[in-house]
């Protein structure tokens, strides 16, 4: 097995490539579409995407952090039955929460649309994005955490490339057909669903452990309480961080939907630099959890099993 620093550096490199690719292609995506679609429709789409991104962060980031931590720990101790259980539980929780929130946003679509009264068709776009983009994107984000915990961050980069390429192709094709803001939201939704399906297939191949190697481990139960406790504050922290980045688009759009388009594109260009630190942070948690779990299990087995039962 590679040393922790090597795993951290390797994983961070892939996440950095993914984040930079996402930021650069994302900026190109909006700039290109701004040449095809008028400013009002670009601003409308940006507000909807900002809203959906913020919602996904509040409803999915907690369980994503838990997956990165616990999958790494269980794999380090060869508790593969627990790994499969925590992945299954994590994906179920992520999908359930995102579905509930999607239904709530769907029911509130008209009310939210009234806030942006200067934007035509906002409610329809919010309704479409809520039932398609929120659940699929939550699954993609959870799968990315699982890949990171397995030190397979190259698959996070792969999902990023698939999403960006699909989104660009679908949105540009539909925009040229004349669907305007609907083209953009449809592009996001279809690309996210494609990434979720392909990502899940890849995850099944990575998580294909046929047996539990450590014969001394007989208890394959996991503590759902510990996972939910660990996840709780991360939901708030990650959600607030995303809201901080999206609050400008959401606020400006209530006054001038065209101005939100300019602000959003400028913000995307500026975000490229910040993604460097996020790439390192994304790999740090599973790497530290893995090493800490191994050291604790080796030095104090009783304490380790008390914590995890």
> What mean pLDDT do residues 205-221 have?
57
Q: What is the pLDDT of residues 253-298, one digit of tens each?
A: 555 565 555 555 556 555 555 555 554 555 555 555 555 555 545 5
The single residue listed with the structure tokens 């960006």 is 164
User: Residue 194 has what pLDDT?
Assistant: 96
User: Residue 126 has what pLDDT?
Assistant: 92
User: Residue 171 has what pLDDT?
Assistant: 95
Distances (CA, A) of 41 to 79, 219, 250: 51, 55, 14
User: Residue 11 has what pLDDT?
Assistant: 64
The band of 176, judged by pLDDT with boundaries at 50, 70 and 90, is very high
C-alpha 7: how far from chain center: 21
User: Residue 170 has what pLDDT?
Assistant: 95
Question: The tokens of 143 are what?
Answer: 């799968």
- The residue among 144 and 256 whose pLDDT is bigger is 144
* Distance of alpha carbon 285 from alpha carbon 8, whole angstroms: 10
3-state secondary structure of 69: helix
Write down the H helix ranges in the chain.
4-34, 39-76, 80-107, 109-115, 122-149, 154-176, 181-206, 224-255, 257-299, 301-307
3-state secondary structure of 100: helix
User: Residue 162 has what pLDDT?
Assistant: 94
Distances (CA, A) of 58 to 62, 107, 165, 180, 242: 8, 18, 26, 28, 8
Which residues, in sequence order, are CB contacts of 204 under 8 Å at separation 6+?
A: none
User: Residue 266 has what pLDDT?
Assistant: 57
Kindly tell me if the per-residue pLDDT of 95 is higher than 70: yes
> What mean pLDDT do residues 219-231 have?
60
> What mean pLDDT do residues 65-94 have?
84
User: Residue 7 has what pLDDT?
Assistant: 63
Q: Which range has the worst mean pLDDT, 161-165, 168-172, 266-270?
A: 266-270
Domain ranges of the chain: 15-212+219-307
- Note the pTM of the prediction, 2 decimals: 0.74
User: Residue 201 has what pLDDT?
Assistant: 93
Using a 10 angstrom Cβ sphere, with 0-12 exposed, 13-18 middle and 19 or more buried, the burial of residue 145 is buried
The band of 13, judged by pLDDT with boundaries at 50, 70 and 90, is confident
Kindly tell me if the per-residue pLDDT of 5 is higher than 90: no
Kindly tell me if the per-residue pLDDT of 235 is higher than 60: no
What value does the mean pLDDT of the chain take? 75
Q: What is the pLDDT of residues 104-113, one digit of tens each?
A: 999 988 888 8
User: Residue 161 has what pLDDT?
Assistant: 92
Q: Which range has the worst mean pLDDT, 24-28, 170-174, 178-182?
A: 24-28
- Dihedral of CA atoms 89, 90, 95, 101 in degrees, nearest 10, equals 110
DSSP string of 71-94, one letter each residue: HHHHHHTT-HHHHHHHHHHHHHHH
Which residues, in sequence order, are CB contacts of 288 under 8 Å at separation 6+?
A: 4
Residue 172 CB neighbour total at 10 angstroms: 17
Longest dimension (CA), the chain: 65
User: Residue 230 has what pLDDT?
Assistant: 60
User: Residue 111 has what pLDDT?
Assistant: 86
Query: Which percentage of the chain shows pLDDT scores above 90?
Result: 22
């Amino acid at each position: 097995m590679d040393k922790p620093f090597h795993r951290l550096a390797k994983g961070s490199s892939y996440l950095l490539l993914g984040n930079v690719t996402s930021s650069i292609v994302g900026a190109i995506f909006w700039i290109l579409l701004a040449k095809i679609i008028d400013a009002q429709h670009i601003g409308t789409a940006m507000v909807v995407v900002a809203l959906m991104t913020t919602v996904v962060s509040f409803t999915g980031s907690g369980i994503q952090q838990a997956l990165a931590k616990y999958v790494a720990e269980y794999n380090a101790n060869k508790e593969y039955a627990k790994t499969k259980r925590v992945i299954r539980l994590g994906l179920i929780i992520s999908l359930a929460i995102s579905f509930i929130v999607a239904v709530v946003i769907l029911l509130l679509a008209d009310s939210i649309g009234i806030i942006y009264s200067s934007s035509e068709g906002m409610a329809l776009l919010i309704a479409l994005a809520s039932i398609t983009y929120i659940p699929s994107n939550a699954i993609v984000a959870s799968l990315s955490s699982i890949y990171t915990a397995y030190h397979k961050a190259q698959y996070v980069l792969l999902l990023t490339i698939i999403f960006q390429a699909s989104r660009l192709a679908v949105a540009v094709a539909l925009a040229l057909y004349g669907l305007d803001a609907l083209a953009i939201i449809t592009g996001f939704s279809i690309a996210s669903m494609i990434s979720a399906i392909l990502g899940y297939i890849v995850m099944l191949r990575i998580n294909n452990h046929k047996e539990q190697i450590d014969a001394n481990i007989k208890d394959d139960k996991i503590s759902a309480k510990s996972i939910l406790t660990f996840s709780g504050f991360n939901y708030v922290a990650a959600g607030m961080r995303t809201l901080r980045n999206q609050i400008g688009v959401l606020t400006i759009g209530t006054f001038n939907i065209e101005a939100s388009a300019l602000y959003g594109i400028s913000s995307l260009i500026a975000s490229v630099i910040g993604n460097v630190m996020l790439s390192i942070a994304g790999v740090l948690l599973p790497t530290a959890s893995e090493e800490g779990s191994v050291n604790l299990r080796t030095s104090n087995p009783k304490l380790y099993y008390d914590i995890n039962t």
